[in-house]
Structure 1
Amino acid sequence: MTWQQTVEQTVTGMGFDLVDLDRSAGGLLRVTIDWPWQPPATDQAVVERFVTVEDCEKITRQLQYLLEVEGLEYRRLEVGSPGIDRPLRREQDYMRFEGQMVDITLKAPIGVTGTEVSANRKKFRGTLERAEDGVDWRIVWSDAPEPKPGQRVSKKRPPVPLQAMNFSLDDVQQARLAPIVNFKGRQATGEGPNG
């Protein structure tokens, strides 16, 4: 069993998912964990659990003991949560974050027929959706520049055309949640202060 498999088995055995595992040349061993995700039943609300500092400490103590027993040399061990730019690697990650803004880098450029997408473009930022075939995925985006903060946008202005591209997970080199931060609080658009 490799050390990667040992780490994954330990993390999953403690009830967490191993999101990412990285070992740098400088001796840093970085382990990223999250709570397992199950698709919610149709009549249930989505309840997100977040990784706490105590969770990371518990995993760190267990891994330190295990890695000492295994004889794996490292200088520093970091255990943390995925953060706002979480990588998407498995089909389940895509299902979990469907409808969210993502950054995708493809292995090879895919030109989209009938659109203005450059045939040599590999990077996209847009909304992640399931494609009509139910197998592939789609990214929907607009190449229009975002309005500057404080800039007034006319209500008569025509909507910016959206573009879409289907892709399979095999086409993806890297995918992450887009790190979009709303500094005005967690209030959803269109809701008043009283809900």
Structure 2
Amino acid sequence: MSKVIEIVEKMAQPIVEDLQLELVDIEYVKEGKNWFLRIYIDKEQGVDIEECGIVSERLSEKLDETDPIPYNYFLEVSSPGAERPLKTIRDYERAVGKRVNVKTYEPIEGEKAFEGTLLSFEQKELLIEYLIKTRKKQVVIPLEKVAKARLAVTFS
């Protein structure tokens, strides 16, 4: 599966850049009997359905030319949504000051899941302030210990 993602990323990146968009993530997953190739794109002001459609059409043409995927699949192109995954250094830098949800590979201070404000991201370490019961607490999480991270939905 990672080979498919690698090939698709090489095809999608120039298309997305040409439209001045950002390639956020690619998933190639089997759900039930069906395979799905999901491409997540974004830009500062958010993407609209028209941009998703253009990327889908252009990428579909490229995929049809080389046919790198051995199974039938559904191609989906969309925004990453409000709970955007944090994958790159740039993602973490942009998330400073925002609420995040982080899961770690191993416990840090007895916990493997943290939701709070990303206070800083320096030297590949996240500093998160979160609430435990009624007390604010801070934790430093090395990037290599992060299993999954995303923006957290906030309700104002």
- Tell me the TM-score normalized by structure 1: 0.68
Q: Is residue 165 of structure 1 aligned with residue 139 of structure 2?
A: yes
Q: 1:181 offset after TM fit, Å?
A: 3.3
Post-superposition Cα deviations, 1:57-111, rounded to whole Å, max 9, x if no partner, equal 1101101111100113443111001101110011111111111111100111112
Count of aligned residue pairs for this structure pair: 145
Q: 1:9 offset after TM fit, Å?
A: 3.6
Distance 1:50 1:2 in 2: 25
Post-superposition Cα deviations, 1:101-141, rounded to whole Å, max 9, x if no partner, equal 11100111112xxxxxxx2x10011100116xx42221101
Distance 1:84 1:3 in 2: 24
Partner of 2:15: 10
Distance 2:81 2:12 in 1: 20
Cα pair 2:99 2:117 within 8 Å, conserved: yes
Alignment of 1:1-195 (within 5 A): 2-25=7-30, 26-35=34-43, 48-73=44-69, 74-111=72-109, 119=110, 121-130=111-120, 134-135=122-123, 136-144=125-133, 160-182=134-156
Listed as ranges, the gaps of 5+ residues in structure 1 are 36-47, 112-118, 145-159, 183-195
Distance 2:147 2:81 in 1: 20
What percentage of residue pairs aligned between the two structures are identical? 29
Q: 1:169 offset after TM fit, Å?
A: 1.4
Post-superposition Cα deviations, 1:6-59, rounded to whole Å, max 9, x if no partner, equal 223432343221111011222211100012xxxxxxxxxxxx411111110110
- Whose strand fraction is larger, Structure 1's or Structure 2's? 2
| Rg larger in structure | 1
- Whose helix fraction is larger, Structure 1's or Structure 2's? 2
- Tell me the TM-score normalized by structure 2: 0.84
RMSD of aligned residue pairs (Cα, Å): 1.8
Q: 1:163 offset after TM fit, Å?
A: 0.5
Listed as ranges, the gaps of 5+ residues in structure 2 are 1-5
Post-superposition Cα deviations, 1:126-181, rounded to whole Å, max 9, x if no partner, equal 100116xx42221101122xxxxxxxxxxxxxxx3210001121111100111223
